[in-house]
Structure 1
């Protein structure tokens, strides 16, 4: 039967890759009427992205994916090796951070299949496969979108907001007139994905030989990936031949004994748009930025985009916040995405120096830096990775006496409601709402009745986090079993407003809870009583 599209939706999402599918799940969880248009009728079965970090896994948790819903392989270390200096740098990626492994590899078709399957649980989300966006017309109230269906018929849908998750050649980006700044590397690389390789490795290694730089890593399903930099004069056709593949893989295995899933020659890109949005049109993932693969942050950056954007869209379409909060998507996300691209370019300079002389200088300097404990820790402890922390945006500026950082992420720990009750990750206990958290205290006790009503009307909820052993009861009272939150993040007697994307919006002592809530509501553009608006600090650009 032919699928019929709705005449209007709140959000029309273009693209159902891993970033688009995560966005669709988030919008579904927030109860937003969403239509997803995807040109391809099927999942692309060849592996592409391969690395996720703890932040990405936490965002997938926010999107409803529990641990084990798709297969991952934890990576203990990332090793940089030089033919001259040996192992000249090593990043420790073992152990958990915020409830997830610091670094994992995965099989992209498996993740996409899982994300798509979850969409059937959301009645507000409709997916049109084999449908292509062919026209966009904007007006003051929304966007009229022309969609060519699989049978060739064209339907028009009106949407309040249009989100382009349609990849590096984004139709949405071209229509919006957003400039894709940056460069494409001149070097070609051959990627080889294989299964059933004998003696699999358990870490990521970068063979930084200027003659043939080669990143190499394992993946679930007894898979391994190699990326080989092509030398001058080597062509795509020549290097994809079986005999060329056999020669390249000879140091690791006999190619006839393994199963090669994919070979492809491609070039790396480092590009970012001049703005992540224009009017009612927003870009996420590769449509907004392309990151070289050396830092393993390409897909992760796209997941950060949708975690930041989707709750803001939900709060606006549901009348819980002013549309001005949408301006903060670009303000918050673009600087961080740019810093991640710069990190990937730096990592690329370590992996692929242009010649032996540069390799000697770069790798020798890195080797010498490992002799200095503070310099070694920068790489070993991943301090070179930019924090997902905002300098400007949708939060109240300033610092408090807690360890919380406004514009930064709330840590995640393990919590339970009572002795013997199931243990959960704290994000699952917090849920999908804007949350007022009391650390070792109940925020309801001092919050004025009027402000409580305004808070609930703005989509807020109230929650108490108890320190280990502290008594308490109620469905919104949780005991912190790990000290990650109480007192790890904030002392007893503290309150904080936390956004649905786990960013700290405001915080302060319990006795100032009315001021904290009223100022948070003002930042959102929500209705605030005249008595409290006087002290509000507005951080939304006009």
Structure 2
């Protein structure tokens, strides 16, 4: 098995596959980690992938909870505030976490180096690919210029927005919206900046902006580039743009121009070559789902690949990768586009309307819950998502809460009891559950905080079948 790309998605994929017994080679064209900040937010649903890869606790140590969203006008007056409680969400973690991508990559690289089934090859560029029963890769050593061939049972392309794997299999990106140019500035400050500990979105039709504390002494500021404006134009004005946040004197670690794109690949699979992460989809950052979508891709694909390569599942199981993940990714990209337009689009008239609307909706509890809830839409109905009956319609395709249960006197996440395969969970009594892991006997556990019992009863369910990726296959 070969994974192309050693970013967070590719490294997580390698760890997930290795934990299912597959030897994995990771090919990375860079000779050393990129080392610059990029992704800064991850939600608790996507953190399930890091948990199954064995690095969730390490991630929590290097991240901090994201406390919500503030919408500001052009004069930085608060239009609306949607705050998150500091307590954990349904999966036992903060619903949103802020982090620096180099810290996460260092954590994942350390885990990969400890994993005997994973080999990491850096400075190796994929230049050719042939599908001939398995897959043959032509690989260029960028230091020596030497070429070699690598045979693989399957290939997973996690090689980013300019994916070589995507190009070699003839897949194309399809636009869902117009590109948007922004300047991103990553700062460090020895003294804490006077920022609220959530994301600030400046809804200014003249100069939309985003500001947020990241982790430790790091901060991120983003400013939309105006038509005809260059990166240099805005860099020259950066101290003045940062001044309202008290950040004019902070150390600028990096400044980069980004083109935020809304795209989804037309084809995610060619035989045993598959795409994931930015190779398959690109999203504007307004709902913080760029990395999270990629981690969901590999979390929901790793067990399928392992089953097919082990011969315990038919090849057609891989057809469910795009069938499940593309509609979900497309929905999240469209939501990011919509919210971006609502928060930052239009002219002066739109700004006046936005203020009037927000004055009302911020007092509606349902709106506040929508703005702070980390849940994403369930997967569509298909071979692995069976929506029958009231319970099935409500729960199938959604993510099982990672609630705590008590087994033999120990409090553990329910994931530890479910095991690595498809499992069944049913309600015995309020606060008592029975879990049947794949290939094992049924065990009885106590619902430590009532989360699972309440979740089942709230949907009118008494039992669920749970896939290896913790997605509910069916409910009754």
Does the alignment reach a TM-score above 0.5? Answer: yes
CA distance in 2, matches of 1:121, 1:490: 42
Q: Distance in 2 between matches of 1:339 and 1:101?
A: 23
Instruction: Quote how far apart the aligned CAs of 1:438 are.
Output: 4.5
CA distance in 1: counterparts of 2:155 and 2:232, whole angstroms:
40
By how many angstroms is 1:401 displaced? Answer: 5.0
**1:499 corresponds to which residue?**
467
Q: Deviations over 1:399-446 (max 9, x none)?
A: 365897222221111123233x3x3222233332322335446577xx
SS in structure 1 of the partner of residue 221 of structure 2: strand
Contact 1:136–1:143 (8 Å) recurs in 2: yes
In structure 1, C-alpha distance between the alignment counterparts of 2:340 and 2:330, rounded to whole Å: 15
Q: Kindly provide the CA deviation profile for residues 184-223 of structure 1, in whole angstroms up to 9, marking residues without a partner as x.
A: 7454211111111533431111011112111111111121
Unaligned runs of 5+ in 1: 1-10, 445-451, 467-478, 509-542
Question: Using the alignment, how far apart are the partners of 1:414 and 1:366 within structure 2?
Answer: 37
- 1:76 is the counterpart of 2:76: no
- The corresponding residue for 1:215 is 210
TM-score, normalised on structure 1? Answer: 0.80
Aligned position for 1:519: none
Q: Cα deviations across residues 214-235 of structure 1 (Å, max 9, x unaligned)? A: 1111111121111011233431
The change in CA–CA distance for 1:269 and 1:328 in structure 2 (over 3 A counts) is same
Q: Distance in 1 between matches of 2:452 and 2:206?
A: 49
Q: Distance in 2 between matches of 1:393 and 1:227?
A: 42
Shift of 1:39: 0.5
Match of residue 111 from structure 2: 118
Q: C-alpha distance in 2, partners of 1:186/1:405?
A: 35
Secondary structure of the corresponding residue to residue 152 of structure 1: coil
Residue in structure 1 matching 2:324, options 332, 348, 353 = 332
Contact (CA 8 Å) 1:85, 1:363: kept in 2 or not?
no
Give the CA deviation at 1:370: 3.5
Moved more, 13-22 or 352-361: 352-361
Displacement of 1:84: 8.1
CA contact (8 A) 1:439 1:464 kept: no
Given candidates 15, 24, 28, the residue that maps to 1:34 is 24
State the alpha-carbon separation in 2 of the partners of residues 368 and 493 from structure 1.
36
Long gaps (5+) in structure 2? none
User: Which residue of 1 is the match for residue 161 of structure 2?
Assistant: 168
Alignment size in residue pairs: 465
Question: Which structure has the larger Rg?
Answer: 1
What is the TM-score normalised by the length of structure 2? 0.90
- CA distance in structure 2 between the aligned counterparts of 1:166 and 1:106, rounded to whole angstroms: 21
Given that 2:127 and 2:138 are in contact with CA atoms closer than 8 Å, whether structure 1 keeps it comes out as yes
Contact 2:161/2:278 (8 A) holds in 1: yes
Q: Kindly provide the CA deviation profile for residues 137-195 of structure 1, in whole angstroms up to 9, marking residues without a partner as x.
A: 112x2111111124222111121211110111111111111120006745421111111
1:62 corresponds to which of 47, 52, 56: 52
1:366 shift after superposition: 3.6
Per-residue displacement from partner, 1:8-28 (whole Å, max 9, x unpaired)? xxx211001011111111011
Q: Is the 8 A contact 1:89 1:379 kept in 2?
A: no
Aligned-residue CA RMSD (Å): 2.6
Change (3 A) 1:393 1:337: farther
> What secondary structure sits across from 2:453 in the alignment?
coil
CA distance in 1, matches of 2:475, 2:15: 29
TM-superposed deviation, 1:116: 1.2
Secondary structure of 2:168 counterpart: helix
Aligned to 2:223: 228
- Contact 2:158-2:276 at 8 Å conserved across structures: yes
Distance in 2 (alpha carbons) for counterparts of 1:92 and 1:465? 38
Aligned equivalent of 1:264: 256
Asked if the contact 1:412–1:484 (Cα under 8 Å) also holds between the matched residues in 2, the reply is: no
Q: Deviations over 1:88-128 (max 9, x none)?
A: 33334333221111111101001011111111333222111
Moved more, 191-200 or 15-24: 191-200
SS at match of 1:409: coil
**Which of 277, 290, 298 lines up with 1:285 in the alignment?**
277
